[in-house]
A = this chain, B = another copy of it.
Amino acid sequence: MAMLAGIVGFRGYSGVELQKILAAHPRTAPVLLEHRADSAPEVRPLGHEGPRRLPCQADEVAKAGIEVVFLATPPEVSMDLAPALLEQGVRVVDLSGAFRLRTAERYRHWYKEEHTQPELLASAVYGLPEFYREQVKGARLLSNPGCYPTAANLAIRPLVAAGVVDRAAGVVCDAKSGVSGAGRKPSLKTSFCEVTANFSAYSILNHRHVPEVLLNSDLKEREFSFTAQLIPIDRGILETVYFRAQGAASAGDLLDVYRKAYRDEPFVRLYPAGSVPDLHAVARTNFCDIGLRYDAATGRAVVVACIDNLGKGAAGQAVQNMNLMFGFGETEGLL
């Protein structure tokens, strides 16, 4: 019988993606948890009413037999909802930034507000399975990574760990994202006429996803320059990573670093040396695709990493984590 999986924030872009994945997943059935009344009822075809709905109350959720709840909510809402669910024995996969930064101080610094559940931070597991698979399996509170850091860490961490990055010269990550990454709440910045035929940079050097990269890739702030930018498309993240390589005689050497790191990873795909992925390659998948070019004569290296920000960057990775937490096959519902 299908495991019941609740979704809070099911109308948001990550929430809708979770609905789709969990409905098609062989092991789960989604339940939509109403957290706030929605004034604009959506139009649905006759006879296609969609998943069951319940009010989002921890005791009722537990009573209904829901074993995991995905919080596709802002961090302050996640901090609000997580404790009661955990107390009821319901496992939580949180897609917000609430539990990603390990300490309340760091959260305050980057999110400009107090952390209201600091005691939960220690037990939260950062859900990047490629690096923390064993911890993920035992998680009760799973903190799903940010979209930008997912691609950045998958691109950068193995290189830093292998010592092929000249840290003195620094690492540049020029990141571009589709608009769904900004959420579904209407704003001028994400209005069609403002975004179309445009391209813009924001949060240069101070995006709140920066500390997630630093914490997991072992770079220091002074070694890492990050710019977030808006592409006029709905979904997809492409990150262009620049560094000076050391100890690598060829592109193949750098590629070998990735090959070793991701040998058995089902969701990381590598490209032949000199070739790089584009966003179409990963659209509506849970893959992170990585390719690179390297000019050995000058040491200049460029890595391109692509994900779907709603797939591996949010809902897809959240389900990958759920699969690990509940002992399902890691790729079930995701290939």
Contact = CB atoms under 8 A, between A and B. Distances in A.
Interface of A: 13, 40, 43, 45-48, 168-170, 172, 174, 176, 179-180, 184, 186-188, 190-201, 204-205, 221-222, 225, 227, 229, 231-236, 238, 240, 242, 244, 269-272, 275-281, 283-284, 289, 293, 295, 297-300, 302, 304
Contact of A295 (B205, B235, B238, B289): B205
A186 B186 contact: yes
A195 to B, nearest CB: 4
Nearest to A24: B335
A304 B45 CA distance: 13
B240 A174 contact: yes
A221 B236 CA distance: 32
A40 B225 contact: no
A192 B234 contact: yes
Contacts of A191: 184, 186, 190-192
B184 A192 contact: no
Contacts of A174: 172, 174, 240, 242
B201 A238 contact: yes
Given A176-B176, A204-B276, 4 more contacts: A43-B271, A46-B270, A186-B186, A227-B242
A191 to B, nearest CB: 5
Given A43-B275, A272-B43, A197 B300 contact: no
- Looking at A270, A272, A298, which has the most chain B CB atoms within 10 Å of its CB? A298
A271 B200 CA distance: 14
A281 B200 CA distance: 10
Given A199-B279, A200-B278, A238-B199, A45 B289 contact: yes
- Looking at A244, A271, A278, A283, which has the most chain B CB atoms within 10 Å of its CB? A278
15 contacts: A43-B271, A45-B270, A168-B169, A172-B172, A172-B174, A174-B240, A176-B176, A176-B199, A176-B229, A184-B191, A193-B234, A197-B234, A197-B279, A198-B236, A201-B302
B240 A229 contact: yes
Given A201-B240, A242-B172, A300-B170, A193 B193 contact: no
B179 A193 contact: yes
Nearest to A220: B298
Nearest to A224: B300
Given A197-B279, A205-B302, A300-B222, A188 B236 contact: no
A197 B244 contact: no
Contacts of A180: 193
Contact of A199 (B40, B227, B278, B289): B278
A234 B295 contact: no
Contact of A170 (B169, B269, B271, B281): B169
A297 B221 CA distance: 10
Nearest to A300: B225
A13 B193 CA distance: 9
The 9 closest A-B pairs by CB, nearest first: A45-B269, A200-B278, A222-B298, A174-B174, A186-B186, A192-B195, A204-B293, A179-B192, A43-B275
